[in-house]
Amino acid sequence: MADTQSAPGPQDRSIQGAPDVVDISALLSAFWDGKWLILVSALVGLIYGLRLLTNYQPTYEAQMVVMPIQQQGGSGGSVGSGLQSLGISLGVRQVSNFDRLQLVFESNEFAELLDRKHDLLRKVFADQWDSQTQSWRRPTGERFRNDQDLRGRLRRNVWLEPNLNGLSRYLKSSVKFRLVDQGQFHRMSFAHSDRDFAIWLLATVYFEAEELVRRQDAAENAQRRQYLEEQLRRSSVIEVRQSLAQLITGEERQAMLMQGTLPYVGRVALASRADEQPVEPDFVLVVVTPVLASVGATALVIILLVLASTELFGKRGRSQSAASTR
């Protein structure tokens, strides 16, 4: 029996097998029809950027340059190799003291030290401290309450009075480290609205962090010496006693260097300083970026609408063609 269904013609096959394409002329026409929407979105982005520019809070950026001191381990490479030759592993460090100094800024121990010596918690969060009642002042206002209610609904953290955890997070995020000259130098920076405070804090936190690293190494050095002296008292083998005596001598030499006034973590190449004028806002970042973002978002919506309409009409055309072949 002959097949009653006729094969689709060349034109029908081309319609059914044609890939989904976007008509450039239709897209340009859509952009032209939506030109006023694009202009309005650009105006909204410009107003938002200008508002950010007028509300910009000027800050002074303090900077200092440090050259890290190269170290080979806790008490030097010779001591570490000597311990390994005796089969003793004391966890010789593979990182520099400057790397450890950067991690110090994340510790509550460092935040507690700064708060105890310099009352840094109340200096950093001075706008939330009530000197009359000697307590932290909780922000008020309808905007703050709405914000706290929204954060609670979204399961985000709400306001807490400043504490050591907040101070350590502030130091970690505010004190920046950047490599200079292929890692030979490190540039530290800190920005604040008070120029003198920015200069003071940057210098203070660096030297306090260096002193903390020095004290930590001094404590480890004392533990190693105690361990080596105990082994020396127990050992009766002459060769082992001589090796232990050399190691103790190296530890004593290292202890003398820790107790001195020489730089321990790094040498300060440029002391903490800041320009007389505050940092200017980046016009492109503050103003131009919101305009480009608004225009881009509007153009993306227009493109999606064109694609949706093309897909819709394409499906209708294919369904009508299939119906005509039947």
What residues form DSSP beta bridges with 64? 188
Q: Is the pLDDT score of 54 beyond 80?
A: yes
Cα–Cα distance, 209 to 105 (Å, whole number): 8
User: What average pLDDT does the segment 49-73 reach?
Assistant: 84
Q: What is the pLDDT of residues 216-261, one digit of tens each?
A: 898 898 898 889 888 888 888 888 888 888 888 888 888 887 776 7
What Cα–Cα distance (Å) separates residue 282 from each residue in 73, 96, 287? 43, 36, 8
CB 136 within 8 A of CB 160: no
Cα–Cα distance, 143 to 289 (Å, whole number): 27
pLDDT value at residue 13: 46
What Cα–Cα distance (Å) separates residue 47 from each residue in 40, 58, 69, 299? 11, 20, 50, 19
Q: What is the pLDDT of residues 150-208, one digit of tens each?
A: 888 888 888 889 999 999 999 999 999 999 877 789 999 999 999 999 999 999 999 99
Q: What percentage of the chain exceeds 90 in pLDDT?
A: 31
Q: Is the pLDDT score of 75 beyond 50?
A: no
**Position of tokens 């706008």?**
127
3-class DSSP assignment, residue 87: coil
What residues form DSSP beta bridges with 191? 61
Q: DSSP of 185-229, one letter per residue?
A: EEEEEEEESSHHHHHHHHHHHHHHHHHHHHHHHHHHHHHHHHHHH
Range in 50-59, 86-95, 208-217, 265-274 the model is least confident about: 86-95
Q: DSSP of 224-250, one letter per residue?
A: HHHHHHHHHHH---HHHHHHHHHHHHH
pLDDT value at residue 202: 96
User: What average pLDDT does the segment 292-296 reach?
Assistant: 91
- The band of 57, judged by pLDDT with boundaries at 50, 70 and 90, is confident
Q: Is the pLDDT score of 320 beyond 60?
A: no
Average predicted confidence (pLDDT) for the chain = 81
Q: DSSP of 155-186, one letter per residue?
A: T--------HHHHHHHHHHHSEEEEETTTTEE
Cα–Cα distance, 295 to 282 (Å, whole number): 20
Q: Is the pLDDT score of 268 beyond 90?
A: yes
Q: Is the pLDDT score of 65 beyond 90?
A: yes
Q: Tell me the one-letter amino acid at 226.
A: Q
Phi, psi of 230 (to 5 degrees): -65, -40
Q: Is the pLDDT score of 98 beyond 70?
A: yes
pLDDT value at residue 286: 82
Nearest to 176 by CA among 3, 16, 59: 59
